[in-house]
Structure 1
Amino acid sequence: MTELEELYIGTDIGTTSTKSVAFNRQGKAIYEAAKEYDLHTPNEFVAEQDPDEVFEAVVETLQHILKQVDHPKQIKFVSFSSAMHSIIGLNKELKRITQSITWADTRSNEVVERLIGEGKADAIYQKTGVPIHPMTPFSKIIWLRERDPEQFEKISKFISIKEYVCFKLFNQFVVDQSIAASSGFLNLHTLDWDDELLLEMQITREQLSAVVSTTYDDFELQERWKEQLDFDAGTKFIIGSSDGVLANLGLFAIKKGTVAVTIGTSGAIRLVHDQALLDKEGRTFCYPLVENHWTIGGPVNNGGVILKWAKNELAQSESRKAELLNEDAYAYVTRMAQSVSPGANGILFHPYLLGERAPIWDAEASGSFTGLRMHHKKADLLRAVMEGILFNLREVLEIIEDQGGVIERVYASGGFAKSETWRQMMADIFQLNILIPESYESSCFGAVLLGLLATKEISSFAEVESLVHLSNEHIPNHGLAEIYDKIFVKYSKIGVALRSID
């Protein structure tokens, strides 16, 4: 009888979908499943998930993989990744009485502005490593209390979407250190809830989950889910970490001189360091992965969603033409942008259509085109949009470089990494080599690598570097360095000038 291949599942609970991928011991994706759900955005300030839709997606993707394997015994463990900054309120009966308020929800901006005005922002950042912003559960909980005191009094537990999944599956209230850190009220120096910030929110420790290591695996499925999921009794479940932290691990961007760039709907640049690093101006985050591994970076709101906006609003007829030709509309639009020379014929685009987190941390910032003249065409605007997204990320990159040292290589993932045009544009604007992984699901793979450490199949991450397979590498055109450097200086100056206008 042929020996069954051992498999390891990484499950990534995202903003608009959940993905589960089963990898073998050589790091190859064998089975995968994805389930989409809605991000409810009735207006520009609200961005909520239905927690039960998300939980059902987790269950369905795991069931899909279990149906494909030869025997449940093949699955050695399931390790979880999750989006950060969500908050859900449960009542005394442990029934949810709010939706999952996601990172993209900005209704707590008035709280943030008040805290900044009171001079509290820097002290909070120095404690937590998280910039003051409406994305954080810290500001959201204060907003919930002030908006509806009666509902607030009914909340007995404040938990994230990953904690909700763990509660439903395992009947435990635990939160990994990385997701806890992203709340904005975990003390980065003690890795425990900060009592002063709990007082600021007017909540107690009893309303929060126990903080555990990202390698925590003391879980057992509740009977109902044992029946529905049919995992082998020996399958372990690992709490895992946050999606951004695990993307670095899944790309093996954990060595000195390397960063990971992710552009999906939003985006981020992150590096891993052997100690916690804080920015003197409070522009970057710092989250724990495991002992002696800290992730430092900057998240941006305006990633692929801005290209989608440009496709829909600036190139409607071209998008329809692409559909009639049975061609991908994004490929058509990026080809239009590619036809324009670097610098978009003098147009600069600041992509703050959704406000912005890093590098400016201003939820009310707005986007702009500058340099428009009568001779400009749609293709020039599209090129400017793509360059503007990357100039914004370059500003974040330079801040991170000031903190963590010279960057030599960039590992890129997310939907944008499928576009050769955009990848090369990044190489030219950053003037760095851009490496592309074989698998685009870096957070799922990072969850698996963390699971191998948790289950002691490896003793350090150095043992699994060979499992990270690359499909491509883009070398910067050094002839464009001076051109893009001059444009970038102008981009930064215009950004400062625009933000100085009340």
Structure 2
Amino acid sequence: KEMMEEIGIPLSMMPEKIVESTDIVGNLTKEAAVELGLSEGMPLIASGIDCGAANIGLGVFEPGVYAAAIGTSMCGALVSDKPVKGKNLIVWPYLYDAKKLSYYFAGGATAGAIVKWFRQTMCQFEVEVEKSGGKNAYDALNEQAETIPVGSEGLIVLPYFMGERSPVWDSDAKGTIVGLSLAHTKAHIYRAFLEAVAFSLRDAMEATGENLGESILLAGGVTKSKLWRQIFADVTGYPIVCPIHDVEANMGDVMLAGIGTGLLSYEDVKQWQVLDEKIMPNKQSHEKYNDYYKVYKSIYNNLKDDMKTLTRLSLENNANRLLQKTI
């Protein structure tokens, strides 16, 4: 009530009751049951947003675990039972045991999305080979990138292709490729895109602070690439552990529903997730990435004012074009 009064939002606009993610919040109506092909009266569980459910699906039910779900975008979060003095983080009650556990979250607006953009925009040859029954385009690009050394021989990409969320919080941030020369190839640029997402994860982790655990749980589409998994380990300096089956958010919802209805227990579901072997960071590669990471951070700080100017100029140009069409 005090918070609502302070920021000027009527209490009547808030839910009447705050519930746990495992609480039953209603039952399936007859109309919805017919449309969905399910049973009328089926209990409905509150659950939560996808990245939180993904953490549950990864088997995170205890504090002190850092997990990152990286698909189109990125969500990296520490589950903790103590306050985390991180900077520019999003903080939620965790989906499990919300009165005790909190979810300290940072994450990139574009992660796998920039690699998909690169494939679709710059890799027509590999895509055509795949369409004709040949090698998967991503596999072909990964094979090429494996031959490129750490740091892509002086290339750094800022993965801010749709602005950036936590911990940067800058809607004017731009995707940037720095260091291009005539010596660079498509494979160099592709590897630099993979490294950019790993740098973004490291930035999120550092914003969260220390005590992130002994290893990082990594899930999502990025885990399909053996090269990318190793890059994440080398850039962050942490061992990387991935699930064998990439179904985290869906599995998390099933776990929460089972616990909420009493059909499952915590002891049941914590055994469900099967994790792959740890991917250990290469010490020499990590030391090299430390130097590149410093440049990664410096580039944004040096260019952020120019990025804001580009946004303004772009908006002005678009407004002028619309005005001319109207006239």
Report the equivalent of 2:257.
451
Which of 469, 472, 489 is residue 294 of structure 2 equivalent to?
489
Q: Does structure 1 residue 395 correspond to structure 2 residue 200?
A: no
1:429 to 1:227, Cα distance in 2 relative to 1, 3 A: same
SS at match of 1:253: coil
Q: Does structure 1 residue 441 correspond to structure 2 residue 247?
A: yes
**Long gaps (5+) in structure 1:** 1-189
**Alpha-carbon contact 2:154-2:179 (below 8 Å) kept:** yes
Report the equivalent of 1:287.
92
Q: Does structure 1 residue 311 correspond to structure 2 residue 116?
A: no
Report how far residue 478 of structure 1 moved.
Answer: 2.1
* Matched ranges for 1:341-360 at <5 A: 341-360=149-168
1:275 to 1:455, Cα distance in 2 relative to 1, 3 A: farther
1:394 maps to a residue whose letter is: R
Q: Distance in 2 between matches of 1:392 and 1:327?
A: 29
* Matched ranges for 1:362-381 at <5 A: 362-381=170-189
SS at match of 1:487: helix
Report the equivalent of 2:68.
261
1:350 to 1:306, Cα distance in 2 relative to 1, 3 A: same
Report the equivalent of 1:240.
47
* Matched ranges for 1:189-228 at <5 A: 194-199=4-9, 204-210=10-16, 211-228=18-35
Report the equivalent of 2:108.
300
1:462 to 1:431, Cα distance in 2 relative to 1, 3 A: farther
> Root-mean-square deviation (CA), in Å?
2.4
Report how far residue 458 of structure 1 moved.
Answer: 5.6
Report how far residue 361 of structure 1 moved.
Answer: 0.5
SS at match of 1:300: coil
Counting helix residues as a fraction of each chain, which structure ranks higher?
2
SS at match of 2:77: strand
**Alpha-carbon contact 1:248-1:259 (below 8 Å) kept:** no
Which of 47, 59, 63 is residue 252 of structure 1 equivalent to?
59
1:406 to 1:275, Cα distance in 2 relative to 1, 3 A: closer
Q: If the length of structure 2 is used for normalisation, what is the TM-score?
A: 0.84
Which of 314, 327, 348 is residue 135 of structure 2 equivalent to?
327
Report the equivalent of 2:78.
271
Q: Distance in 2 between matches of 1:377 and 1:218?
A: 55
**Alpha-carbon contact 1:193-1:205 (below 8 Å) kept:** no
1:489 to 1:220, Cα distance in 2 relative to 1, 3 A: same
Report the equivalent of 1:143.
none
Report the equivalent of 1:426.
232
Report the equivalent of 1:18.
none
**Alpha-carbon contact 2:28-2:43 (below 8 Å) kept:** no
Deviation string 1:184-236 (CA, Å, 9 cap, x unpaired) is xxxxxx8x97233344xxxx444444332222204122221233445446743
Report the equivalent of 2:269.
464
2:52 maps to a residue whose letter is: V
Q: Percent identity?
A: 27
SS at match of 1:388: helix
1:406 to 1:229, Cα distance in 2 relative to 1, 3 A: closer
Q: Distance in 1 between matches of 2:25 and 2:117?
A: 44
SS at match of 2:24: coil
1:446 maps to a residue whose letter is: G
**Long gaps (5+) in structure 2:** 310-327
1:222 maps to a residue whose letter is: T
Q: Distance in 2 between matches of 1:452 and 1:325?
A: 42
Aligned length: 303
**Alpha-carbon contact 2:104-2:208 (below 8 Å) kept:** yes
SS at match of 2:209: helix
Report the equivalent of 2:191.
383
Q: Distance in 2 between matches of 1:230 and 1:334?
A: 42
**Alpha-carbon contact 1:359-1:392 (below 8 Å) kept:** no
**Alpha-carbon contact 1:301-1:357 (below 8 Å) kept:** yes
1:432 to 1:220, Cα distance in 2 relative to 1, 3 A: same
1:454 to 1:373, Cα distance in 2 relative to 1, 3 A: same
1:446 to 1:436, Cα distance in 2 relative to 1, 3 A: same
Q: Distance in 2 between matches of 1:440 and 1:193?
A: 39
1:225 to 1:234, Cα distance in 2 relative to 1, 3 A: closer
SS at match of 2:27: coil
1:229 to 1:319, Cα distance in 2 relative to 1, 3 A: closer
Report how far residue 263 of structure 1 moved.
Answer: 1.2
1:369 to 1:445, Cα distance in 2 relative to 1, 3 A: same
Report how far residue 426 of structure 1 moved.
Answer: 0.9
Q: If the length of structure 1 is used for normalisation, what is the TM-score?
A: 0.56
Q: Distance in 2 between matches of 1:266 and 1:291?
A: 28
**Alpha-carbon contact 1:278-1:284 (below 8 Å) kept:** no
Q: Distance in 2 between matches of 1:196 and 1:271?
A: 29
Deviates more, 1:311-320 or 1:224-233: 224-233
SS at match of 2:48: strand
1:298 to 1:483, Cα distance in 2 relative to 1, 3 A: same
SS at match of 2:46: strand
Q: Distance in 2 between matches of 1:265 and 1:382?
A: 16
Report how far residue 276 of structure 1 moved.
Answer: 4.8
Larger RCO of the pair (alpha carbons < 8 Å, separation 6+) = 2
Deviation string 1:371-407 (CA, Å, 9 cap, x unpaired) is 12221111111111110111111111111134xx243
Q: Distance in 1 between matches of 2:50 and 2:3?
A: 21
Q: Distance in 2 between matches of 1:401 and 1:468?
A: 27
Report the equivalent of 1:79.
none
